[in-house]
Amino acid sequence: MKIRDVMSRPVVVLLSYASIRDVARHMDYNGVGSVVLSDAQRLVGIVTDRDLALRALARGVSGDLPVRQVMTPDPVTVRAGDDLYVAVEVFRRHSFRRLPVLDEEAVVGMVTVDDLLLHVHQVTGDLLKPVAREIGEPQSSG
């Protein structure tokens, strides 16, 4: 299975000079916990709701400042065509929960730990259906 099969889309992409306040408003409006930041040509960072809370709000940083001041620069990414195991390995090695997904240089999605957990749950359910049917059928007296 490929990352494109489980990633979330669309992704909210804003320019890195957007204000912290505007980024928070976009997160709220779109119901997302992260925003990918660009310089109009390429991915330059990511900011999460946790970043806004800990790097901005907790430190008294003005919401009028550019979000690049609290973003994580040059985020780790994965490719849409990568095997799902690539994302699993990245999450194992790092303490973050979201990965921007690229196709060429364009951000086309976001894969999260939650996406992977949901996928595992669905696969497990699919595997258990035949077992449950077999258990539920009356046994022949042979």
pLDDT tens by residue, 77-105: 999 999 999 999 999 999 889 999 999 88
Q: What is the pLDDT of residue 141?
A: 61
Q: What is the pLDDT of residue 121?
A: 75
Domains and CATH numbers, the chain: 3-136 (3.10.580.10)
Q: What is the token pair recorded at 30? A: 């779109």
Which residues does residue 82 pair with via DSSP β-bridges, in sequence order? none
Q: What is the pLDDT of residue 34?
A: 95
CA distances from 31 to 10, 27, 28, 122, 126 (A): 12, 6, 5, 23, 29
Q: What is the pLDDT of residue 135?
A: 80
**How many beta carbons lie within 10 A of that of residue 122, not counting itself?**
11
Q: What is the pLDDT of residue 139?
A: 65
The list of the chain residues with pLDDT below 50 reads none
Q: What is the pLDDT of residue 49?
A: 95
Q: Residue count of the chain, please give it.
A: 142
Q: What is the pLDDT of residue 142?
A: 56
Is the pTM here over 0.85, yes or no?
Answer: no
